[in-house]
Amino acid sequence: MTTPQTTATDILVLNAGSSSIKFAVFDAQLSERVAGLAEGIGTPDARLCIAKTDLTAQFSDHPGALAAILAALPEHGIDPQALAAVGHRVVHGGRKLTKPLRITPDVRAEIASCTPLAPLHNPHSLAAIDTMTGLVPNLPQFASFDTSFHATNPEVATRYAIPRVEETKGIRRYGFHGLSYASLVRRLPDLSGTALPSRVLAFHLGNGASLCAIRNGQSVATTMGYSPLDGLTMGTRSGGIDANAVLRLVEDNGLERTKAILNHESGLLGLSGGKSDMRNLMLDPSADSAFAIEHFCYWSLRHAGSLIAAMEGLDAVAFTGGIGENAVAVRARILRGLEWIGARMDVDANHARKLRLHASSSKVAIWVVAAEEERQIAMDAQTLMETL
């Protein structure tokens, strides 16, 4: 067993999903000490992976998974009782929680009040918060919200054209992937060696996918709306679909079945007939897989044009997320579709998986920026700790 070497500056970051908890521990310099994943929560296939090592573990719920994570940390030199803080990713902060915050009873209550807006996510974050409170009562806890980066969107971008009485119930555009975009804004100047471009079109492409128009470091438009279902074609989510088509699906299938279709059976999975992972689609020579990939790229470009218009121009493109960082052919297809605005890709740089992708003749800078959502959460917590 490794002797715990944790100092009072280490921060545990928790990202609780519907059936998993991603976690990482960062030191005072925000270097990652250890990371892992508890997955399959509530299933016979539950497992805990820490530092790329699979451990035998059984947990029927999120509190049990979190207890298993804390029990495993000492083997990697980390004493849970000596942590300085824990930072949580909370998917939905609603109208009021628009910046990272220390979790107080009032903040916890507000997170709970946002549960109707994110019923598949916020309850799991609350379970992690409450479990940590029970296990380490005096440990400061902080929350970073996936919606908060888009709080700078103008009202004309967030308001649906529905009666005010419905809008006051919280039916509006919020946007998501905010932690990824905040990290991108922070990191791009370091990668490029220059100031952040005035107008950045950011592609967060993964199983969940969205675009963000970032002007002078702030979000002014994004493709996801009231929920993470809207916008681009995604791994299993439909992306944009006419509201009357949704109503027809409800008439034919019922509400719960329609939710399952649109969130879990559509997108790349539905188009290809069974494949949601871009890597598998690109290895499959079938016409259905080729069409699914083209659909993904086409709608990324359709929405890109809208966001470029929202910024009234374009100075830089940045790719992040699993597909954005790794799918060479997808990046190439999207960048070909942006040549009309002066984007010119360096083909060799793209194939070599370089961070800088723009050719010398390009009027638009093109970068690949690795997603660092967990480090962003740790940084948020560290910044707030300095004010305690």
Topology alike, domains 11-145 and 178-373: yes
For the domain covering 178-373, report its CATH number: 3.30.420.40
Better pLDDT: 222 or 54:
222
Mean pLDDT of the 193-216 span:
97
* Tens digit of each residue's pLDDT (9 = 90 or more) over 98-151: 999 999 999 999 999 999 888 888 999 999 999 999 988 899 999 999 999 999
Residue 50, pLDDT > 90, answer yes
* Tens digit of each residue's pLDDT (9 = 90 or more) over 252-286: 999 999 999 999 999 999 999 999 999 999 999 99
Can you say whether residue 342 is alpha, beta or left, with left for phi > 0 and alpha for psi between -120 and 50 degrees? left
CATH class, domain 11-145, is alpha beta
DSSP 222: E
| C-beta atoms surrounding 215 within 10 Å | 18
| Whole-structure pTM value | 0.94
**3 state DSSP class of 60:** coil
In the chain, where the domains are located? 11-145, 178-373
146 in catalytic set:
yes
* Tens digit of each residue's pLDDT (9 = 90 or more) over 312-324: 999 999 999 999 9
* Tens digit of each residue's pLDDT (9 = 90 or more) over 279-306: 999 999 999 999 999 999 999 999 999 9
CA distance 384 to 366: 33
- List the structure tokens of 316: 């830089």
| Sheet architecture: strand order including 218-222 | 218-222, 209-215, 199-205, 316-320, 365-368
CA 98, 321, 202: angle at the middle one, nearest 5? 65
* Tens digit of each residue's pLDDT (9 = 90 or more) over 34-43: 999 999 888 8
Catalytic annotation, pick one of 146, 230, 346, 380: 146
* Tens digit of each residue's pLDDT (9 = 90 or more) over 20-32: 899 999 999 999 9
φ, ψ (nearest 5 deg) of residue 221: -165, 150
Kindly tell me the burial class for residue 255, based on how many C-beta atoms sit within 10 Å of its own C-beta (0-12, 13-18, 19 or more).
Answer: exposed
